[in-house]
Structures are given as structure tokens and as C-alpha cells.
Structure 1
Amino acid sequence: MKQDGSIDLFHYWNRLRNGRAAPKRTEVEPADIKGLLADTFILERDTRGEAVFRLAGTRLCATYGRELKGFSFPSLWRDKDQRLVARLAHGVFHAKSVVVVNFDGLSSNERANPFELLLLPLDGGTESPRALGIVSPCQKPFWLGADPIVDAMIDAVRVIDPDREPMFLKNRPSVTVPSLAPSDQALSDSIKMLGARRIRHLVVLKGGLED
């Protein structure tokens, strides 16, 4: 994860779950993530087993130029990527996976912009699986929100183990960096070699103008 929105939402989700595979969907408080709501969404599984938008933020809907509620989540991608996206959503629903997808969104006027997608599982019970997600633009060109994204191509996918990877960062060994300042002993030796004397924090060198 590289985008601030993804990182902030992941940390919020991670605090909520408190060691569990996923927090309950009822534990998510919109007021706690009000700064992220415009780009966030919630997925649910419909009667066909497909991931569809239950809720979607205003800026996310503007990015795609339509209200996303009720729309198929995999349908945002081109045909060749839709099966992969469906499998990733299924893994979030049922295996409580955490998924990061980097993709290029293509606009109706054939402009392109990179995005980062984060999908996080929510515990809605076996009959009502949910996922919390956010789509963050990696760049913010002037046309974004006015020229709708109509197609997307996956660039990279990563499935994260939330129990191991944050701990890896916490447990990284500290690196001892030597001081750039000389030690008191080294400084005293240097002063003697120069034939100088020290007055408080100043070093006074002998010398002057010759006749």
C-alpha cells in the first residue's frame, strides 16, 4: 500500500478487528473515517454469489460517472480481468483475505490514470459476507471526476497477511548509526595538535599578521 487513503483505512480496520480475522460490519462507524468516506465503498454478495456495491462514496461515484450502488464490482474491469476480480472478492468474503490491486483506469475520452484499490473483509456472518474498500487515485489530473472511468486494466495484485506484515515492520531490528560528531577525546586531541586552546564552546587558534 502506497496511498494515504489505503494506509489509513487499513490501520482503522486493523484496530477494529483487534486480532480477529475481521471486524464485524456493525463495528464500522462512518464518523470515524469521515475523511475517507468519499472514496470508500462496501461490497456484499448477491443471490448469484456475485460481489456488488452495497454503498459507494460520492467521489468514487463521480470518478465512474454513475451511482455504483447495486452494480457488479467485477464489471468495472475489462472482460479478461473480471474473473480474477471476482475470485479476489470471493477470497475477501470467505477466506478473509486482504487484497491490494493496482490498476489503470481508462476514461471515456481515452485518458488513463493509475489507481490503488484496497479490499478488507468484514464479518457479516456466513449468509451476509461484506467487504470494506477504498479506491485511491495515484495521480489527480484535472479531468478526474469530469471524464468518467469506463474501463480498467489490472497492473498488479497483492494478497496481504495482516497478521504477519505489520508485525514485520514492528520487529525490524534497530540499526546503530555512528555519530557524525567527534567524541570529546578526539576533539581535545585535535585542539592540542593545532596548538590551540578552548574557551567554553570556542576553539581559539594562535596566529596573527606578520610585519
Structure 2
Amino acid sequence: MKQRESIELFQYWDRLRDERPAPRRTDIEPADIKTLLADTFILEKDSRGEAVFRLAGTRLCAVFGRELKGFALPSLWAFKDQRLIARLAHSAFHSKAVVVIAFEGRSRNGRTNPFELLLLPLDAGEEAPRTLGIASAVEKPYWLGADPVVECRIDTIRVVDPDREPMFLKNRPAVAVPAMAPSADEVAGAGQGGHGRRIRHLVVFEGGRET
């Protein structure tokens, strides 16, 4: 987690949860994070079980050139990454996992820019799971918001236990994601043990322990 916006939102979320797995959805006060609202979003599960945008900030919508409400989160990503993004969102909904994704956004005119995305679970009951998130641009080129991002590609991911892992060790290596993403079943099985586990090309860490 390297972006200032991600760190600030995590710290707010961590204070609210007060040692619980996640804060309640009703604990979130938009006024408390007003400087971050333009980049934040809330995900919910639709009737098909997909993670869709319930709310999305104005700057985030401008980056993608459309109102994101109602769109599925995986639909923003390259086809090869969509199943993995769906599984990561599922982990945030149901396993109360904190997920950090570094990704590249590619614009309609072929320009690229790095971003960081953070998913933070919320307690809204099993019938209506929610996730709070933020997606912030690492760089702010002149074209951002004018030339819409039409496809995202994962660079690295981190799935983190916030109770056990130091969150702000910027020099800790992330898990690179090459061209072939793992299957949904392999990702679903990650994070069960207390040690880092190798799953094909990924190494999943828990509790800050090294493999």
C-alpha cells in the first residue's frame, strides 16, 4: 500500500472497526473522508452474485468516462484478469480480506497510467455484503479524465490480514501477476494456512511471515 489516499482510507477504516473484522456499513460517515470521496466507491453483490458499483466518486467516474453505478467491477478489466478480480472481490465480501491491487489503466487512445486500488470489507450482513474501496492514480497526466480508461490490467496484488501484517512496509514485495492468471478455484483456496503458500505463479502471504 503506497498511495496516500489508500493509506488514509485504510487508517479510517481500521479506527472504525475497533478490532472487529470490519466496521459496520452504517459507521461510515462521508464527511469524515470528504477529501477522498472523489476516488472512493462502494461495491455490493447483485442478484447474480457479481460485485457491482453501488456508488462511485466523481473523479473515478471521470477516469472511466462514464457513471459507474450498476457496472460490474470485473467488467473494467482485461478478460484474462476478470475471474481473479471477481474472486478478490468475493474475498473482501465474505472473508473480510483487505485487498491491494496495483494496475495499469489503458485509455481509449492507447495511453497508459499506473493506479492503486484498495478493497476494504464492511459488515452489512450476509444478505447484503458491501465493500468500501478507493482507486487512485499514481501519476496525474494531462489526459486523465479526458481520454477515458477502457481497460485495466493487474500488475501486482496483495491479500492482507490487517490484524497480523504490517500494512505500511513499502519495501515488501508484491505478488506479480503474469499473463496467465490463476483459476477461480485456485484463488478460492488461498489464505487458509498460517504460512505463505505457492499457488502456481502466486505466493499468498499471511501474517507478514516470509516464504
TM-score for both structures, normalised by structure 1: 0.79
The CA distance in 2 between the partners of 1:168 and 1:29, in whole Å, is 24
Offset, 1:168: 9.2
What amino acid sits opposite 1:91 in the alignment?
S
CA distance in 2, matches of 1:89, 1:133: 10
CA radius of gyration, larger in: 1
Are the counterparts in 1 of residues 2 and 168 from structure 2 also a CA contact under 8 Å?
no
The aligned residue for residue 66 of structure 1 is 66
Residue type of the alignment partner of 1:160: V
Q: What are the Cα deviations for residues 171-202 of structure 1, in whole angstroms up to 9, with x where unaligned?
A: xxxxxxxxxxxxxxxxxxxxxxxxxxxxxxxx
Cα distance in 2 between the residues matched to 1:41 and 1:24 = 16
Q: CA deviation at 1:167?
A: 8.2
**Equivalents in 2 of 1:92, 1:163: separation in Å?**
15
Matches within 5 A, 1:1-211: 1-166=1-166
Shift of 1:38: 0.1
Residue aligning to 1:195: none
Indicate the RMSD between aligned Cα atoms, in angstroms: 1.2
Query: Partners of 1:91 and 1:164 in 2: how far apart?
Result: 17
User: Deviations along 1:72-98, whole A, 9 cap, x unmatched?
Assistant: 110000111000000000000000000
Provide TM-score, normalisation by structure 2. Answer: 0.79
Question: 1:100: how far off?
Answer: 0.2
Read off the aligned partner of 1:136 and give its amino acid letter: S
CA–CA distance in structure 1, aligned partners of residues 30 and 88 of structure 2: 25
Q: Aligned with 1:155: secondary structure?
A: strand
Could you say what secondary structure the match of 1:9 adopts?
helix
CA distance 1:24–1:105, change in 2 (3 Å): same
User: How big is each residue's C-alpha offset from its partner over 1:116-153, in whole Å with a ceiling of 9 and x where there is no partner?
Assistant: 00000000000000000000101000000100000011
Aligned length: 169
Distance 2:39 2:128 in 1: 23
Distance of 1:16 and 1:49 partners within structure 2: 27
Report the alpha carbon displacement of residue 154 of structure 1 after superposing the two structures with TM.
0.4
SS at match of 1:135: strand
Cα deviation, residue 47, structure 1: 0.6
The whole-number CA distance in structure 2 between the counterparts of 1:9 and 1:45 is: 22
CA contact (8 A) 2:107 2:151 kept: yes
User: 2:17·2:23 contact (CA, 8 Å) conserved in 1?
Assistant: yes
**Structure 1 or 2: more helix by fraction:** 1
Is the contact between residue 62 and residue 148 of structure 2 (CA under 8 Å) also seen in structure 1? yes
What amino acid sits opposite 2:20 in the alignment?
R
